[in-house]
């Protein structure tokens, strides 16, 4: 669905829009041009393209009418110090770095872009599962080094996939996994029974999912999780041959515990796209042979980034004009 802005209405004075997200406008600079054409003064990211720390936002956000944010630290203190701020536009879906209560108290509209990258993330999830199941990375490295070692993997057909968080992305993963002949179980605090019936999904408690699944894939939103979701106790419940996939948020997994389980042969492998600290310098997962690690690229497809940018533009301009954004979260 195309959400391109078509209106030419402009404000009397330019709205000042801070670009916090490191990916907004990076691949599609025309998205920045669309904001400017709609009457915005676009203020580029001033911290080298990374996320703003709270102290840095305190210096710049007070003069802004809007921020298009990625993982910038929008704390209650930062929000309180920004008297002009009308809207916080999440370029993505994760809201854990935004103090939603503080935004609501100030009457600041917060929006997100759900549905823009769920297919992208689901594709990467299946790619990680397949790479681990068929040992693609070690086989590639061995072949490039002149070897010809027969790597034995596992088929996905008739294996059980446990999906933790059956939202948009989890459902997209489910549809793909069904195409490989996998059996699907899921855990979600708000189960969609109609989808489950249509796609032969069985809802179970988390403990049962962990003990049953051959592959566990995490898609739970971090802002709904009060503590680490997968720690030592949860890892101990999993099969020693099981694969753990995390394309959601790094905070969901106790990474040292995961590394210990993998190194000790208590888990078959892990595919990780999201880390607790990024980049994951010094992370024990970096040294293990039974992992496939990617630099948080789940949503980094041209198709997904185009949709996400267009939705963010609409959300931003609608909120600045006093209209309802496409997808409001606060």
Q: Which residues are marked as active site?
A: 249, 278, 296
Cβ atoms of 201 and 185 closer than 8 Å: yes
What are the helix (H) ranges across the chain?
30-37, 54-60, 76-80, 100-106, 118-133, 136-144, 168-179, 193-198, 206-212, 232-237, 255-263, 302-320
Closest CA to 110 of 322, 321, 315, 294: 315
Instruction: For residue 219, count CB atoms less than 10 angstroms from its CB and return exposed for 0-12, middle for 13-18, buried for 19 or more.
Output: buried
Give the HSE-up count for residue 258: Cα atoms under 13 Å, Cβ half-sphere.
28
Are the C-beta atoms of 233 and 207 separated by less than 8 Å?
no
**Using an 8 Å Cβ cutoff, are 255 and 228 in contact?**
no
The first and second tokens of residue 190, run together, are: 């708000």
> Alpha carbon 89 to chain centroid distance?
16
CB atoms within 10 A of CB 8: 8
């Amino acid at each position: 669905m195309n959400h391109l802005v078509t209106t030419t209405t402009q404000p009397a004075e330019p709205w000042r829009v801070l670009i916090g997200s490191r990916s907004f406008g990076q691949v599609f600079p025309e998205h920045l041009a669309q904001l400017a054409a709609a009457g915005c003064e676009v203020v580029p990211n001033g911290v080298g393209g990374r996320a703003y720390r709270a102290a840095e936002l305190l210096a710049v956000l007070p003069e802004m009418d809007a921020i298009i944010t990625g993982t910038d630290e929008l704390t209650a203190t930062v929000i309180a110090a920004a008297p002009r701020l009308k809207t916080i536009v999440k370029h993505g879906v994760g809201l854990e770095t935004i103090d939603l209560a503080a935004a609501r108290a100030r009457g600041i509209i917060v929006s997100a872009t759900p549905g823009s990258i769920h297919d992208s993330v689901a594709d990467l999830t299946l790619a990680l599962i397949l790479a681990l199941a068929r040992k693609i990375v070690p086989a590639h490295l061995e072949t490039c080094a002149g070897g010809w070692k027969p790597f034995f993997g596992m088929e996905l057909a008739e294996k059980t996939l446990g999906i933790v968080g059956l939202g948009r992305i989890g459902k997209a993963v489910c549809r793909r996994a069904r195409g490989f002949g996998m059996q699907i179980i899921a855990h979600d605090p708000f189960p969609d029974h109609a989808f489950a019936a249509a796609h032969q999904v069985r809802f179970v408690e988390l403990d049962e999912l962990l003990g049953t699944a051959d592959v566990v894939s995490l898609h739970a939103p971090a802002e709904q999780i009060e503590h680490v979701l997968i720690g030592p106790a949860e890892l101990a419940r999993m099969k020693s041959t099981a694969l753990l996939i995390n394309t959601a948020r790094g905070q969901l997994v106790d990474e040292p515990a995961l590394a210990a389980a993998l190194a000790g042969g208590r888990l078959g492998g892990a595919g990780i796209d999201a880390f607790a600290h990024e980049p994951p310098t010094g992370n024990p997962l970096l040294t293990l042979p039974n992992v496939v690690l990617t630099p948080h690229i789940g949503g980094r497809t041209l198709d997904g980034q185009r949709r996400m940018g267009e939705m963010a533009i609409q959300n931003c301009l609608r909120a600045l004009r006093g209209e309802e954004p496409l997808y409001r979260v606060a």
